[in-house]
Copies of this chain bind each other. A is one copy, B any other.
Amino acid sequence: MINGKPHVVVVGGGFGGVNMCKLLAKENVEVTLVDRHNFHLFQPLLYQVSTSVLSTDEIAYPIRSFFRNNKNVNFFMAKAKGVDQKRNVLITNHGEISYDYLVLAAGATTNFFGMKEVEDHAYGMKTIQEALAIRNHVLHEFERADKPYRSSEERKEKLTFVIVGGGPTGIEEAGAISELVEVMKKEFHHLDFNDVSIKLIEATGHVLPMITDDLQEYTVQTLRKKGVEVMLNTQVVGYDGKILKLKSGVEIPTSTVIWAAGVKAVDFMKDCGGECARDGRIWIDEDLLVKGAVNRNVFAIGDCAAFMHGDMQRPLPTVAPVATQEAVIVHKNIMKLIKGDNNLEKFHYKDLGAMATIGRAKAVVNKPKMTGFMAWCAWMLVHLIRLAGAHANLTVAIKWAWNLLSGIRLGRIITNIKLDSGKLTIPKVEEDNSKRNVNEGKPVHLGK
């Protein structure tokens, strides 16, 4: 209790966590939102940052801004490290926080399925830093390929872009890279674009598992028309930063592998005192309490939670609508518990359908079934409405309209950023002290 009011601690400022706090803000409770980042990230548009369409600020929104007028909602920037359910305490890297009610909404991270070598060399697609790293890297590969002294093999390796995973992220990234290549064609006057290759690799026999067969087929055909090689039933077994190895024995020389093949809950979930599924998600009951919660005051929602009705084959998917719908029920249940009512509400998921863009001006939507430009307009509208920032909507709309009309994308800025982990080292100035003369009185563009 804080000032005589129950203290609700929410871990994670994603779709679930922020909506949770917005609902609690109106109640007579004190709320502390804990996140290691100071921003809410609109993850569905990360691929647009990674391909130079949008900028960071347009898809990341300062968490504190949501709660300007809610003095009972406090933000605490810290990394959650565990939960001591017996003591009702959340452990963070900045100390412990006592709670009366705890909501775990900590989200998911990339799942490399234990392939350490791939993890070390491929790019994930879950954070703003990764999106910027991909942007930097892809743009830089074009610049490197354009150097006149490259061999044909080197150039092909640098211009081969492999995306692993046929879910929405993989589809959208592959489509967006194919659009980016169209822009590059106009500006690299001497590069041979026959050397460019975009490959989408999917382990199963179909892309976008949540939509119908004909929509899947439409998606694959559309990607192929855009020059993306779609490789179904293809499994990756290794990647050393130069050669991507397939289970079939085939080797693909490439310096760019983007991994969108799976997610798992953040590591923190295993230290929350609950039981976790194989992908690290914590099991929750139908009232959204963590299974076996000691004091019946620890809930979990969104990507970090595994929810399964009795008759389901697998837990609900890791998508935003699950998280936001769960937040509504947790809000109700916390208010019930505060009032001493133990008859908690049960969660029922309402599937709102799925959608994915396939490059510029094309998309698929399954509810209602739509393809092509109309689907793309629907996709655009839904994403603009859901985008958090007030005027981000406007500038994003302008950029999309402009991009549609002119194909221009202004974000093609190589900023030489290193990620904190040090893993994804983005280019330093490369030293090359050979005495080669790159033109010797001939054009510098000997690139082909």
Which chain B residues lie closer than 8 Å to A68 at the CB level? 186-187
Q: Flag whether A294 is at the interface (Cβ < 8 A).
A: no
Q: Once the chains bind, are B30 and A443 in contact (CB under 8 Å)? A: yes
Interface size of A as a range: 35 or more
Which chain B residues lie closer than 8 Å to A436 at the CB level? 95-96
Residue pairs across A and B with Cβ atoms less than 8 A apart, 12 shown, are: A1-B441, A52-B57, A58-B410, A95-B437, A97-B444, A98-B441, A128-B413, A128-B415, A129-B417, A132-B415, A391-B402, A395-B398
Check A93/B128 contact, CB under 8 A, given A56-B413, A76-B444, A410-B62: no
Per the bound structure, the CA–CA distance linking A30 and B71 in Å amounts to 63
Which residues of A, 405-438, contact B by the 8 Å Cβ criterion? 408, 410-420, 422, 426, 428-438
Which chain B residues lie closer than 8 Å to A444 at the CB level? 32, 74, 76, 97
Per the bound structure, the CA–CA distance linking A420 and B429 in Å amounts to 9
Which residues of A, 372-403, contact B by the 8 Å Cβ criterion? 389-392, 394-395, 398-399, 402
Per the bound structure, the CA–CA distance linking A445 and B128 in Å amounts to 28
- From B56, B412, B430, A55 is in contact (CB under 8 Å) with B56
Per the bound structure, the CA–CA distance linking A418 and B428 in Å amounts to 12
Stretch at the interface among A35-43, A228-236, A314-322: A35-43
Q: Once the chains bind, are A442 and B2 in contact (CB under 8 Å)? A: yes
Per the bound structure, the CA–CA distance linking A92 and B436 in Å amounts to 10
Q: Flag whether A212 is at the interface (Cβ < 8 A).
A: no
- From B97, B394, B420, A398 is in contact (CB under 8 Å) with B394
Q: Flag whether A346 is at the interface (Cβ < 8 A).
A: no
Per the bound structure, the CA–CA distance linking A275 and B408 in Å amounts to 43
Per the bound structure, the CA–CA distance linking A98 and B446 in Å amounts to 14
Per the bound structure, the CA–CA distance linking A299 and B162 in Å amounts to 45
Extra inter-chain contacts (8) besides given A60-B413, A98-B440, CB under 8 Å: A2-B442, A3-B443, A62-B412, A64-B188, A77-B143, A93-B431, A93-B433, A94-B430
Residues of A within 8 A of B (CB): 1-3, 7, 30, 32, 36-39, 52, 55-58, 60-62, 64-65, 67-68, 71, 74, 76-77, 79, 89, 92-98, 128-129, 132, 139-140, 143, 146-147, 149, 186-190, 389-392, 394-395, 398-399, 402, 408, 410-420, 422, 426, 428-445
Q: Once the chains bind, are A414 and B94 in contact (CB under 8 Å)? A: no
- From B32, B143, B437, A38 is in contact (CB under 8 Å) with B143
Shortest CB-to-CB span from A185 to chain B, Å, is 10
Q: Once the chains bind, are A89 and B437 in contact (CB under 8 Å)? A: yes
Which chain B residues lie closer than 8 Å to A189 at the CB level? 71, 74
Q: Once the chains bind, are B420 and A94 in contact (CB under 8 Å)? A: no
- From B62, B132, B428, B438, A97 is in contact (CB under 8 Å) with B438
Q: Which residue of B lies closest to A59 (CB)?
A: B413
Q: Once the chains bind, are A434 and B93 in contact (CB under 8 Å)? A: no
Q: Once the chains bind, are A96 and B416 in contact (CB under 8 Å)? A: no
Which chain B residues lie closer than 8 Å to A190 at the CB level? 74
Which chain B residues lie closer than 8 Å to A64 at the CB level? 187-188
Per the bound structure, the CA–CA distance linking A395 and B419 in Å amounts to 28
Shortest CB-to-CB span from A51 to chain B, Å, is 12
Which chain B residues lie closer than 8 Å to A445 at the CB level? 74
Per the bound structure, the CA–CA distance linking A1 and B413 in Å amounts to 32
Per the bound structure, the CA–CA distance linking A426 and B190 in Å amounts to 39
Check A98/B1 contact, CB under 8 A, given A39-B414, A77-B143, A415-B129: no
Q: Once the chains bind, are A58 and B55 in contact (CB under 8 Å)? A: yes
Nearest 5 A-B pairs (CB), nearest first?
Answer: A64-B187, A55-B55, A95-B438, A95-B436, A55-B57
Check A418/B415 contact, CB under 8 A, given A96-B435, A443-B2: no
